[in-house]
């Protein structure tokens, strides 16, 4: 046992089940399954064998492996991820507030008009009245009052908005990039298909035998199968002689039957004949983005169970609403391509970028921004944090998302309800329109008041009343945002 800081490149390390992999490396001995959600966001552990790469910060779930360190310390993938978050923070350009654009020239213009009025009319009262009515209080109040009302409105709907600039940016967003696992989906596998390859063996028996074999397994797929069998009140007999080969499959003895459960390769290695109809079914399951487990009893492959991540029921309608608001949707995920494309079809997303590492997600967002897009990124994991920082607006799933993702994001959905995204877009649009309308109204009142001051219709006293009336109007208009009804 050594400190992680003492590891050097080319060192040989043994990683036991349950341990966090301390450096990037290549497996030189053993098989395992690695939970690399921290790097790729994949919902299931990935099977690894000799020659495969492993990443710093990921978790070795099952088998003991020996790895050769390829990078460590500041050069590791996890430290690069942390640096990307920090760099994205520095690169984010501050938005120029709408009111600021006017304020740069408004006061000088007011003073110039006051001077012109005095020299033209030779009336000091008229000259003094102009700056009184032109004082930009209403203009200055337009943005903060609207933003305060909108943030209060969003909070009532379980959405935390960290700044007013975020609302203005969200109002300009024309592209929303989604992570898949934990965002469009729940990130938890569930049994979706139970298939029997033998006419005399019902599906319930296939599930019962498989659940019995998996009841001692710590693999997420095994746990999902057992949980599903219990929910369906399927009997789970006791298993004997349980043995697991990490990343391959399990052996068990149930009700007098010798069971082998695992992937196609595992069954073939143990002398089980896999017929073409079985491989065709497995191919169909893979095309639907599903994981599968085969079960063989006494030397015959008798069935298979398919498992899939579960799509959030509101995802499809949410994407449709965004499209109606002329906002395009993009899927950026670390999951495999078949799974990503399957779920993208389910929700109606045409542009899919799959098998992405964190830096590749960032590059895709930067490319969209170079094309003139204003991008909102929605994610939940540590691996999404750099992309959340790089995007014009970052939205994190606040309830299930990682602390790093929530910290990196500009907005947090505390209920993890992605159906709130169209509401958030409508609220942001309404806020920007309210700010622009209030600014326009205040300028209109000011210019009318200037004309009346120039002609002597207003005095400093009546001008102050008109000026204050403008401020009151702006505050009342902003207050309407707080209780406005938006379709969610």
State pLDDT tens for residues 57-97.
Answer: 888 877 788 999 887 766 666 666 666 555 544 544 444 45
Please check whether residues 280 and 345 belong to one and the same domain. no
Using the predicted structure, report yes or no on whether residue 314 has a pLDDT greater than 80.
Answer: yes
Structure token pair of residue 289: 């983005």
Tokens representing residue 79 in the block: 């430290």
pLDDT score recorded for residue 42 = 64
Q: DSSP letter at 94? A: P
Same domain, 211 and 250: yes
Residue 205 belongs to a domain with what CATH number?
Answer: 3.40.1110.10
Same domain, 178 and 325: yes
Residue 58 domain-assigned (yes or no)? yes
CA end-to-end span of the chain: 54
Average pLDDT, the chain: 82
Those residues with Cβ within 8 angstroms of residue 472's Cβ, 6 or more apart along the chain or in another chain: none
Contact 129, 399 (CB under 8 A): no
Return the CATH number at 68. Answer: 2.70.150.10
The residue from 75, 91, 121 where one domain ends is 75
Q: What is the mean pLDDT of residues 305-311?
A: 88
- Does 358 lie in the same domain as 328? yes
Question: Does the residue 80 lie in any domain?
Answer: no
Three-state DSSP at 209 gives helix
The one-character DSSP state at 158 is T
Q: Classify strands 249-254 and 393-397 as parallel, antiparallel or unpaired.
A: unpaired
Q: Is the pLDDT of residue 235 over 50?
A: yes
Task: Write the CATH number for 332.
Answer: 3.40.50.1000
Mean of the pLDDT values across residues 261-272?
A: 87
**Residue-wise pLDDT tens digits, 383-407:** 788 888 888 898 988 655 556 667 7
Task: Tell me the C-alpha distance between 155 and 166, whole Å.
Answer: 14
Residue 133 forms part of a structural domain: yes
Domain boundary among 276, 291, 310: 310
| pLDDT beyond 50 at 247 | yes
| Strand residue runs (E) in 246-392 | 249-254, 257-262, 291-297, 300-311, 328-332, 351-353, 375-379
- pLDDT for 254: 87
- Model confidence at 353, pLDDT cuts 50, 70, 90, reads very high
* Domain shared by 234 and 329, yes or no: no
- Residue with tokens 């997303």, as numbered in its chain: 349
Residue 100 in any domain: the answer is no
Q: Does 461 lie in the same domain as 321?
A: no
pLDDT one-digit tens code per residue, 143-189: 788 888 888 888 888 888 887 788 888 888 999 999 888 888 887 88
Distance, CA of 84 to chain centre = 17
Residue 28: Cβ within 10 Å count = 13
Burial 44-63 (b: 16+ CB within 10 A, else e): bbbbbbeebebbbbbbbbbb
Pair (43, 19) in one structural domain: yes
- Does 86 reside within a domain? no
pLDDT band at 43 (very low <50, low <70, confident <90, very high): low
Rounded Cα distance between 242 and 251, Å, is 6
Between CA 444 and CA 464 the distance in angstroms is 16
Q: Is there a domain that residue 20 lies in?
A: yes
- Token couple for 58: 């990921």
Neighbours of 262 (CB within 10 A): 24
The token duo for 72 is 């460590």
The answer on 465 and 445 residing in a single domain is: yes
Q: What is the pLDDT of residues 460-482, one digit of tens each?
A: 878 778 777 778 888 888 888 88
Residue at 300 is within a domain? yes
DSSP state, 5?
G
The Cα angle at residue 324 between residues 320 and 328, in degrees rounded to 5: 75
Task: Give the number of other Cβ atoms within 10 Å of residue 264's Cβ.
Answer: 17
198 plus 305 within the same structural domain: yes
Residues 117 and 169 in one domain: no
Q: How far apart are CA 288 and CA 340, in angstroms?
A: 9
DSSP letters of 303-327? EEEEEEEEE-TTHHHHHHHHHHTT-
* Greater model confidence, 160 or 109: 160
DSSP 183: I
Find the domain containing 35 and state its range: 4-75
321 and 175 fall within a common domain? yes
Q: What is the pLDDT of residue 171?
A: 84
Question: Residue 95: inside a domain, yes or no?
Answer: no
Final residue before a domain boundary, out of 310, 339, 366: 310
In sequence order, the 6+-apart residues with CB closer than 8 A to the CB of 85 are 385, 386, 389, 404, 408
Domain check: are 36 and 10 in the same one?
yes
Structure tokens of 472? Answer: 């009151």
pLDDT of residue 368: 92
Active site residues: 179
- Residue that wins the pLDDT comparison between 465 and 101: 465
Q: What is the pLDDT of residue 90?
A: 53
C-alpha span between 444 and 70 (Å, rounded): 66
Number of domains in the chain: 4
Is pTM, for the whole model, over 0.75? no
């Amino acid at each position: 046992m050594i400190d992680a800081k003492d590891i050097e490149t080319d060192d040989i390390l043994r990683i036991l089940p349950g341990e966090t992999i301390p450096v990037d490396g290549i497996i030189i001995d053993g098989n395992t399954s690695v939970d690399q959600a921290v790097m790729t966001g994949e919902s299931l552990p990935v099977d690894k064998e000799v020659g495969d790469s492993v990443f710093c910060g990921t978790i070795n779930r099952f088998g003991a492996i020996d790895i050769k360190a390829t990078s460590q310390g500041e050069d590791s993938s996890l430290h690069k991820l942390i640096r990307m978050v920090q760099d994205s923070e520095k690169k984010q350009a501050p938005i120029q507030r709408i009111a600021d654009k006017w304020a740069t020239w408004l006061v000088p213009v007011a003073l110039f008009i006051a001077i012109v009025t005095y020299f033209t009319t030779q009336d000091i009262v008229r000259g003094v009245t102009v700056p009184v009515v032109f004082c930009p209080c209403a203009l200055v109040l337009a943005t903060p009052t609207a933003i305060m009302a909108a943030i209060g409105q969003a909070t009532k709907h379980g959405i935390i908005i960290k700044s007013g600039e975020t609302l203005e940016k969200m109002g300009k967003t024309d592209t929303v990039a989604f992570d898949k696992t934990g965002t469009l989906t729940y990130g938890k596998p569930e049994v979706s298909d139970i298939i029997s390859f033998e006419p005399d063996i019902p599906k319930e028996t296939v599930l019962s035998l498989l659940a019995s074999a998996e009841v001692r397994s710590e693999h997420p797929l095994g746990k999902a199968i057992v949980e599903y069998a219990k929910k369906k009140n399927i009997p789970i007999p006791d298993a004997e002689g349980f043995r697991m080969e990490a990343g391959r499959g399990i052996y068990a003895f149930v009700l007098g039957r010798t069971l082998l459960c695992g992937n196609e390769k595992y069954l073939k290695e143990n002398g089980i004949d896999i017929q073409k109809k079985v491989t065709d079914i497995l191919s169909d399951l893979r095309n639907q983005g599903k994981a599968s487990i085969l079960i063989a009893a006494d030397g015959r492959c008798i069935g298979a169970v398919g498992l899939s991540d579960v799509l959030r029921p509101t995802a499809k309608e949410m994407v449709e609403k965004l499209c109606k608001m002329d906002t395009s949707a993009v899927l950026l995920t670390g999951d495999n391509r078949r799974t990503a494309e399957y779920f993208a079809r389910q929700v109606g997303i045409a542009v899919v970028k799959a098998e992405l590492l964190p830096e590749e997600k960032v590059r895709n967002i930067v490319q969209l921004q170079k094309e003139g897009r204003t991008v909102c990124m929605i994610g939940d994991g540590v691996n999404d944090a750099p992309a959340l920082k790089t995007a014009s607006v970052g939205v994190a799933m606040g309830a299930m998302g990682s602390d790093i993702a929530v910290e990196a994001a500009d907005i947090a959905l505390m209920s993890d309800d992605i159906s709130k995204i169209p509401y958030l877009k409508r609220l942001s649009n309404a806020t920007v329109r309210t700010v622009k309308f209030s600014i326009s109204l205040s300028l209109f009142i000011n210019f009318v008041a200037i004309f009346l001051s120039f002609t002597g219709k207003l005095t400093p006293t009546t001008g102050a009343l008109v000026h204050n009336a403008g401020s009151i109007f702006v505050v009342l208009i902003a207050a309407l945002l707080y209780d406005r009804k938006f379709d969610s």
